[in-house]
A and B are shown apart, each in its own frame.
Chain A
Amino acid sequence: MRLMPLDQKSNLLDDLEKRFQTYLFFSQYYAGKADPPILSWFYHEMDSFLGEHPLIIQGLDLLHEVQGEDSTAFRYDFNRLFVGPGKLLAPPYESAYLNQDGLVMQEETLSVRKYYRTAGLEISALGREPDDHIVFQLEFICYLLSQEAQALNGVEDDHINYLELYRKFFAEHLMIWVPKHTRDVQVHSQTSACKAMGLLLEGFLETEKQALN
């Protein structure tokens, strides 16, 4: 199924929920909290609301193979791509892709920091981790979606248009660099799990891009 456009109010809460869960899952994955058993669960339980984008179909097919995959091999692959200690094969930082010198903590990172502050947040590891790490970006979106849902429910109203903030952040940040990153994942990943998650993320963002337009 497709993610519904954001302006169809009747389904908005459901829509927010689906997006929220998807972003949350990817953020958990990038935080290193998902291994092949959890990814298999993802395959069984959540595949249906990711949409029909070809990359998603491809990713889900690949994820099917993950069930038999060795957790250790996945972990080493994950670290080679995103953690280190060697040169990162698919750096999880926006700045690593967009900064002209490929450095973190430059203009690009600080622009993300500014976004967080607009929503009244900053990362707890301020100055210690680059603010534009994918985990933070995904979790930030979860926060925006959650705030929007709470506003809809009349829980909070602090005059911030969270949906608009999400739309802008998606277009100005996530969508600009994550596809470059997931392509690196395709090139360098050695396990189905990492490859599949890259395909799914890219497919999901492509679908979301359509939905947000």
Chain B
Amino acid sequence: MSNVFHMPSLGADMEAGTLIEWTKQPGEPLKKGDTIAVIETQKGAIEVEVFHDAVMGRPLIDIGEKVPVGAPMAELEPLEPDTPSARPAETRAPGKAATVAGRQGEQQTSEARPQPSTASEAAAPAPQSQAPEPTAAAERHRASPAARRLAEQRGVELTAIEGTGPGGAVTLADVKAASGQPQPAPQQKPKPNSKRTQGKPDLAAMRQAIAAAMSRSKREIPHYYLAHDIDLTSAADWLTRRNAERPPDKRLLLGVLFIKAVALTLRDFQELNGFDRDGRFEAAEAIHVGTATAIRGGGLVAPAIHDADQLHLDALMARLRDLVARVRRGGLKASELSDPTVTVSSLGERGVDRLYGVIYPPQVAIIGFGSPRTRPWVVDGDVQPRSVVTATLAADHRHSDGHRGALFLARLAARLQEPDAL
């Protein structure tokens, strides 16, 4: 029996993707983690990976075709029966043969394609879709009648919209947010992007995606905000000394110290590292730090650095370099975009003093770093010029309280006093 590879969700703000190319041909064997296709999304050209070993089967959509999240893209054939790895993979993911990556599977389904099995979902009496195409995603899709009408008028696929109503139902506001002004150009053109434009995100579409995700965040998440000034002098001095001995390709940026310090501190603050699932908190099993990276020309993405708490600073720096380079050139992977468990946003040297983050749903916290500055600071009773950064925490008050949030920032500050231990 063949399985089906679906258009993955790369986060709460993704509605649909356009197939740019198949990187595997029918009959080719696939290993878990192999890139199977490149899709164009609001975040640029993204490589999508298979979840388990299989054999590439029949493609179900054409190059250039734009399909909603969850739509079937290709058939996957099981490996030969005598291949030991074929069986376990199938039993582990029944009915959901392929997804972007192991870590991301659960997040994908419960976030972008609400499962009707959860309690609150079942309680929401949203009407069933009457979409002409009875795909799995369409059958499950819920929307208010007004939303359904508007979606029809504007030619927007309901299945392509992230619902924010009860149980994930699509509301009128969602359709408006998703369709923007009537007949938005980016939604309408199913053109295959040429190699030349690959990796360059459609900025109008990205703007819409950010708008949808951030509106949902501000509508649903009761943020609380904390800020803490942290003396960075010892960390900055340590970094200067360290970098002075190294060639440019071995140098570190302060931002890497921030990411590592956050990741280590999060080990003791589970309630800040995970996801909101219909109002319940689900702690993440690992610490994948989404690193907000501005895109030249506008917009941003926050690809994950996986297991950031376990990476040596040099390895972390290499990962960050690689991520930034791929944000610029294209080539981000689906798993990187879909599975951050928390976000860190650093303004760098040329920003302002403080950054108040907006949580990226379904995450529950975002840590911001303003630009480090030389400020007057009292040390042992004397005022001294010190390098100081303001760290902020925006967190979901449904799942944590200011007391713990404050402890988190205080511990973070303490960690940054001992850069050798990072």
Q: Do A and B interact with each other, yes or no?
A: no
Q: Which residues of A contact B (CB under 8 A)?
A: none
Q: Give B contacts to A, CB under 8 Å.
A: none
